[in-house]
Structure 1
Amino acid sequence: MSDSDRHRVIRELLKERPFASVRDLQKVLGVSAATVRRDIEKLHETGLARKVYGGISAAEGYAAGYASARPYNENRDIAVDAKQAIARVAENLVADGDSIIVHAGSTCYYLGIRLARRNLRIYTNSMPLASYLGEHGTCQLTVAGGELHREPGIIHSLQSSSPGFFASKFFLGTQGISNEGILESHPLLVKVIRDLSECADEIVVLADSRKFSLRPRHVVLPLPRISTLVTDEGISDKNAQMIESAGIRLMIARRAGDEA
């Protein structure tokens, strides 16, 4: 397969999904990781796609139209290295004895795993995380009451707006980020996040850099409501400036092998 053929396949793949990892592309193209990385560099240089941490993302102009949320089981296998690096950095924001809220979502799940045996009070509405903490954790665990909403993958009671749990920090992911704020496509997530945001002193967003390319239709929280954002090295200078200009503490997660 020629260079141009591989580039065409990658561009077609990015019409179906907003992000593809190096490993994804190796499987699709049947080439080495080094060849994939050269293809990513070329597409990035020509503006046909965007190089991000661990792979490639659709160019911002195209990805802005991508609005539908992926199922949890599918999303958890995307950008895993970036999410785990973000969780590792976010863990350092938690002190022993803290009471925290950890929202549903794959990046928050990786954070919860790291906190499982810490001296903490954790509230979560994530069934996968609650199950893991119940079996493997020693932290004090409070699980949201109500029904399981498989899409968007949270436990929530439609009759209650407040969990009655107050935290020092609320950790959450997001489907997209823009200068308007953090974005979601599912109305229930909008309501749940807004309710939980009233129960914490600080809001910490965990989002890999591809989220800056996505534009779901609902603004959940404006940027000034966010205290800290943890992302990966794929964030562009433009987006980093947008975050810092909003008064948000920006933390960049690097792979373990890249840390000094």
Structure 2
Amino acid sequence: MHEKERHRVILSAVQEKPVVTVPELVELTDSSEATIRRDIAALHVQKRVRRVRGGAEAINPPQFVGLAGRPFSVNEGLHAREKQAIAKEAVALCADGEPIIINGGTTTFQMVHFLANRRMQVFTNSFPIAEHLLKHSKNTVMLSGGTIYREQNIILSPFDNDVTRNFYARRMFMGAQGLGPLGLMEADPL
């Protein structure tokens, strides 16, 4: 990852939580601790973050806290071949005319390439998925409503009775951090 992109990730991370640690930034950027420490020092000199012991914090923390995790633009390039293979198999499970739900994410985004010649009803909370399908396919696309999370390019509704209750599909595709006894696990509680 280039320095400019790392700086963008660091600045985004400190806007999402009060203090971001060096190990968290190492994981987000897939960089070394030394590189992250140099980046924090450079951003501190530029007065874009405040360097604190073991990490960085925002100069002016936001009133509204965003989602945790790497931005869509960063995740998109990670493990691209594996994501494409998963997406191809996922689309192979679907039949034309059937309604499906595709949750936002970089692995699920890869499904759009294999849906290009299909005709389905696709419900999603992802701007990139919706935009690509609108431009490059004949699929019917429906978007959920709610708060837009720019870094992750998704929409999440704070309401219990949102439009998702009115859409039925036999198949739903989503990415997750893991699967455990309590179900799917995500990096962010939202």
TM over 0.5: yes
Q: Could you tell me the TM-score, scaled by structure 1's length?
A: 0.45
Are 1:91 and 2:102 counterparts? no
2:122 partner letter: I
Aligned pair in 2 of structure 1 residues 94, 19: CA closer, same or farther (>3 Å)? farther
Q: Name 2:27's counterpart in structure 1.
A: 17
Q: CA deviation at 1:179?
A: 5.2
Q: CA deviation at 1:178?
A: 4.0
Supply the distance in 1 between the matched residues of 2:153 and 2:119 (Cα, whole angstroms): 27
Are 1:75 and 2:88 counterparts? no
Aligned pair in 2 of structure 1 residues 159, 123: CA closer, same or farther (>3 Å)? same
Deviations along 1:76-127, whole A, 9 cap, x unmatched? 1100000001111111100111100000000100013311331211001001
Q: CA deviation at 1:182?
A: 2.1
Q: Name 2:176's counterpart in structure 1.
A: 174
Q: Name 1:187's counterpart in structure 2.
A: 189
Supply the distance in 2 between the matched residues of 1:72 and 1:80 (Cα, whole angstroms): 13
CA RMSD of aligned residues (A): 2.7
Q: Name 1:128's counterpart in structure 2.
A: 128
SS in 1 for 2:141: strand
Aligned pair in 2 of structure 1 residues 159, 182: CA closer, same or farther (>3 Å)? closer
Cα contact 2:28–2:70 (8 A) shared by 1: no
Q: Name 2:9's counterpart in structure 1.
A: none
Q: CA deviation at 1:16?
A: 2.5
Q: Which has the higher strand share?
A: 1
Aligned pair in 2 of structure 1 residues 157, 181: CA closer, same or farther (>3 Å)? closer
Q: Name 1:103's counterpart in structure 2.
A: 103
Supply the distance in 1 between the matched residues of 2:147 and 2:116 (Cα, whole angstroms): 24
Q: Percent identity?
A: 34
Cα contact 2:117–2:138 (8 A) shared by 1: yes
Deviations along 1:51-78, whole A, 9 cap, x unmatched? xxxxxxxxxxxxxxxxx62111111110
Aligned pair in 2 of structure 1 residues 91, 108: CA closer, same or farther (>3 Å)? same
Q: CA deviation at 1:151?
A: 4.4
Q: CA deviation at 1:172?
A: 0.5
Q: Name 2:139's counterpart in structure 1.
A: 139
Aligned pair in 2 of structure 1 residues 75, 161: CA closer, same or farther (>3 Å)? farther
Aligned pair in 2 of structure 1 residues 89, 17: CA closer, same or farther (>3 Å)? same
1:121 partner letter: Q
Deviations along 1:183-217, whole A, 9 cap, x unmatched? 112122xxxxxxxxxxxxxxxxxxxxxxxxxxxxx
Supply the distance in 1 between the matched residues of 2:71 and 2:143 (Cα, whole angstroms): 21
List, as ranges, runs of 4+ consecutive aligned residues in structure 1 with deviation greater than 6 Å: none
Aligned pair in 2 of structure 1 residues 161, 185: CA closer, same or farther (>3 Å)? farther
Unaligned runs of at least 5 residues, structure 1: 1-12, 25-67, 189-260
SS in 2 for 1:187: coil
Deviations along 1:199-239, whole A, 9 cap, x unmatched? xxxxxxxxxxxxxxxxxxxxxxxxxxxxxxxxxxxxxxxxx
Q: Could you tell me the TM-score, scaled by structure 2's length?
A: 0.60
Q: CA deviation at 1:135?
A: 1.1
Deviations along 1:121-153, whole A, 9 cap, x unmatched? 100100111111111111111111233122443
Q: CA deviation at 1:156?
A: 2.7
Q: Name 1:41's counterpart in structure 2.
A: none
Aligned pair in 2 of structure 1 residues 19, 91: CA closer, same or farther (>3 Å)? farther
